[in-house]
Amino acid sequence: MNADPKKDRRPLLPLLLLHAAAAAVCLGFFTIVPIGASLILMAITNDPGGPMFFPMFVMSVIMFASVITAILAGAALLSDLLRRRYRVPIWLPPLAVFVLATVSCWFLAGSAHPVVPPIVGGIVTLAFIVHWAAISTVWFLPRLLFRFFRVQHEPPKG
């Protein structure tokens, strides 16, 4: 990693707001989709699953979504902050997330089948890549539109 003193660095506050908005969307997605699917399946099968199933399911989904969102948002923010400061190859952050998720799964679920940790690592890495790509796309979309429509945009100085 080489230090890369850029003169036109992205401002920090919009970057943090962008990551906060992406984390909120991620949390909403990871809560709405499983709860909605559960409600649809409960309506189709006409089986509510017992009196405590749905409240416990909602609580566990919210906890799971919070943990996954925190992991993805933290990894994406750390990656962006490192990429602002150093010249980091584009493949390094997803590789680091894969290794971290796989090793964590091996430590947390040591009795699981040996193929489970790499699969979990791959799923977490894929979610990270989608989250990271969405943030990067939203960040660079206005620049692309300004360039496409030939709008003169002067980046803020400071």
What the block records as the tokens of 43 is 């309506």
Q: Residues 121-125: what's their mean pLDDT?
A: 89
Q: So what's the pLDDT on residue 155? A: 62
Q: So what's the pLDDT on residue 81? A: 83
Q: Residues 112-141: what's their mean pLDDT?
A: 83
β pairing state of 86-87 and 2-3: antiparallel
Q: So what's the pLDDT on residue 62? A: 95
Q: What is the 3-state secondary structure (H, E, C) of 8-42?
A: CCCCHHHHHHHHHHHHHHHHHHHHHHHHHHHHHHH
Q: Residues 130-137: what's their mean pLDDT?
A: 76
Indicate whether 70 pLDDT > 60: yes
pLDDT band at 47 (very low <50, low <70, confident <90, very high): confident
Average pLDDT of the chain?
Answer: 82
Q: Residues 21-43: what's their mean pLDDT?
A: 88
Q: So what's the pLDDT on residue 38? A: 92
pTM greater than 0.85: no
Q: Looking up tokens 């952050």, which residue turns up?
A: 93
Q: Residues 25-54: what's their mean pLDDT?
A: 88
